[in-house]
Amino acid sequence: MSHTALASSSESASPAWQFSSCCIDLDQTDPGEEAWKLLTRLALGIVFSMDTMMMSFFLYSDWARAAIFGGEPTIPSSIVLLFKLNMLLGSTLTMLVLVPPILRASWDGLRQRRMSTDTLIALGSLSGYAASLYGIATGGEVYFDTATTILVFVTAGHYLELRARARGSEALERLLARAPDMACVVRGGVETDVPAAAVALGETVIVRPGGSIPVDGEVIDGAGSVDEASITGEAEPVFKEAGERVYSGAVNLDGRLIIRATGVGEDRAMARLVRHLREALTRRAPVQRLADRVSAIFVPLTVLCAALAFAFWCWRDGASHGLMAALAVLLIACPCALGVATPLAIWAGMGRAAEGGVLVRSAEALEKLAGVKAVFFDKTGTLTKGTFLLRDTIPAAGIDGGQLIGWAASLETASEHPLGRAVVAHARAHHAVISPVSEFRAMPGLGVVGQVGGASKVAVGSERFMQRMGWPLCPTLSAERARLHGEGRTVVCVGWDGVARGLLGFVESIRPEAPETVRELTALGFAVEALTGDDRSAGEAVSRRLGIRVHSNLLPDDKERLIAEARSRLGPVAMVGDGLNDAPAMARSDVGIALGCGVDVTRETADVSLIGSDLRQVVWAARLAHETYRTIRQNLWWAFFYNAVGIGLALFGILHPIISALAMVLSNLFVVGNSLRLARGSAPKDKDSVEETFVEEFAAAG
């Protein structure tokens, strides 16, 4: 993906706002390049300002004058003028290098009828420079050192902030670099090496053993093991054969794969993920808009305070003291810390989330997650693995259990139902005889029926299916069915030749981390409940094992209604599901969390997408959201405290402008350091993971 493409993607999703040039600008499309440009400006500014600072040090240092002039109390006026002209040259060059970006940003703000922090910096530095020119003309004091030092401090602080963000952007580019630059395609029956960006949809791509896959696609011929650890984090290589999907950036370990391209260029899964992360960081959270509203009021008030300070101290101690007081107010009040407090903490928090395989769609979603009071889980496929084990086999009197399993498995070989797969797996594990099937029919929601072995008509399904078939259960099987339901089993009936012949009882596999996840969420103060379309007995079985309330027999509309009721009853709600059949409930919730997304991170209903299937990521993400917004609150409180104290000292004439500029930068760096603590935290690791997922590199920004 090119910088231009990324820029257009970001600009299309970005609102018409921008931070000041002295603060982090999340709309920069290439912060690395911007950081290097700024470093060049800073280096030149330091070189040009050093001469000004040395001359200033000499003019205002008694011991320096004594060392050169033998203790003479004064310096010849011609020497003083020469020094001042030298300072004028150095400060002018410094201004030419460092002021233009600040003036442009300030002018852009004024054209939009708003005053930014750039306005304060521009007023402070240019006022000092103009007053110095007046001092040279009239023989008065000069303040070139103040004007240039302000700019150097501000630019240095901006560079450090921008460089911190640039590391994250560089990581995103490295993600895309994992896909190869060249691809082998078949054109006109001839294998040809072409740039990967030139591969068209539908073209045939050949990947040899040891090669990286250049595009997303479907295997149409060949087979082999593929290492997708850099994409999904799964340590175990995945065997791929015809009909299966592969993704760019994965490594073909063995075998020769022939792939039909289904995702090229910016449509590749890896490129979509990079775009997703970039766009997430350009969407603003409500807390950021609050900081903007505060700044919009704060900056004009600061200018007014500076004007009052100038007027008061001019009246009391003269224009020189008044100018210093006004400059001090302008610089100490520059709310850079206020502008950096929120976006940098969100950047660090979202980067750390990506490291843990948690992709947050927007800053607003992260803020909402921090305010969630209740977590609802879908049962099947979320709290459970979505797979079943055949636990009970109950044949009717005179029926052989092996025959019951064998005939049921024979019929289910033609079915894709999870219960059917469990029957077949059990039959094969116990070496049951599986016979050929004909006239197979599936009855959605009821069961399957067909001819087994060319003779017997066999049916497998629910009790209602048996009743429709006219094959009622005998009293003994009815009693056994009630008992199995009471134990939380999912029960299937098996019959042939017009008679129900037995029952099969299934248990659903609970995810091993589910009990721990529920305990931790409860300990954190969340209300935890589950939703399922299964019957009441299956829901109660999960309820007993996890100790939570489970709502059963729910259709998608019922789940949506329960989420709406829970929001009014419990407060903001997060819904955890697979993002597909749970879409209505996830859309209704405050935060939708899609589990096990793998490379499919663009599910529209999910505010948060989990790359893996570990439920502990939900707990970790909730804690991270709370930690991120605790850091934001700390930053904002510090920014308000610093500005309140600093403006008070400046109004009383205690602070020199240079001290104000230094204090502003130190305050800014405090906020940067506090925010970057988020990126240094640990991320949840799957015990089977041997390699970082490619989104983890994104968190290297910290």
Which residue bears the tokens 């792939």?
Answer: 259
Structure token pair of residue 353: 């989330």
d(CA 155, CA 28): 17
Radius of gyration (Cα) for the chain, nearest Å? 35
Which residue bears the tokens 């395989």?
Answer: 357
378 is catalytic: yes
Burial class (CB in 10 A: 0-12, 13-18, 19+), 202: exposed
Distances (CA, A) of 527 to 278, 358, 573, 575, 590: 33, 22, 9, 12, 14
How many C-beta neighbours within 10 Å does residue 513 have?
Answer: 16
Q: Which of 378, 578, 582, 614 is catalytic?
A: 378
How many C-beta neighbours within 10 Å does residue 139 have?
Answer: 10
Helix, strand or coil, per DSSP, at residue 594: strand
User: Got the DSSP string for 19-42?
Assistant: --TTS--TT-S-HHHHHHHHHHHH
Are the beta carbons of 594 and 586 closer than 8 angstroms?
yes
Element at 574 (helix H, strand E): strand 573-577
Tell which residue, 418, 414, 422, 477, has the closest CA to residue 448. 414
d(CA 577, CA 377): 6
Structure token pair of residue 567: 């929001």
Q: List, in order, residues 6 or more apart from 106 with CB less than 8 Å away.
A: 116, 118, 119, 121, 122
Give the largest Cα separation in the chain, rounded.
124
Amino acid residing at 160 = L
Which residue bears the tokens 């007993």?
Answer: 544
Q: List, in order, residues 6 or more apart from 20 with CB less than 8 Å away.
A: 105, 109, 116, 117, 118, 336, 339
Q: List, in order, residues 6 or more apart from 261 with CB less than 8 Å away.
A: 199, 200, 201, 202, 203, 204, 205, 215, 216, 217
Are the beta carbons of 18 and 34 closer than 8 angstroms?
no
How many C-beta neighbours within 10 Å does residue 74 have?
Answer: 9
Burial class (CB in 10 A: 0-12, 13-18, 19+), 77: exposed
Are the beta carbons of 339 and 640 closer than 8 angstroms?
no
d(CA 455, CA 497): 9
Give, to the nearest 10 degrees, the angle between helix 363-370 and helix 286-317: 100
Helix, strand or coil, per DSSP, at residue 685: coil
Q: List, in order, residues 6 or more apart from 696 with CB less than 8 Å away.
A: 354, 355, 357, 683
Are the beta carbons of 619 and 517 closer than 8 angstroms?
yes
d(CA 341, CA 630): 11
β 245-246/216-221 pair status: antiparallel
For the annotated catalytic residues, the residue numbers are 378
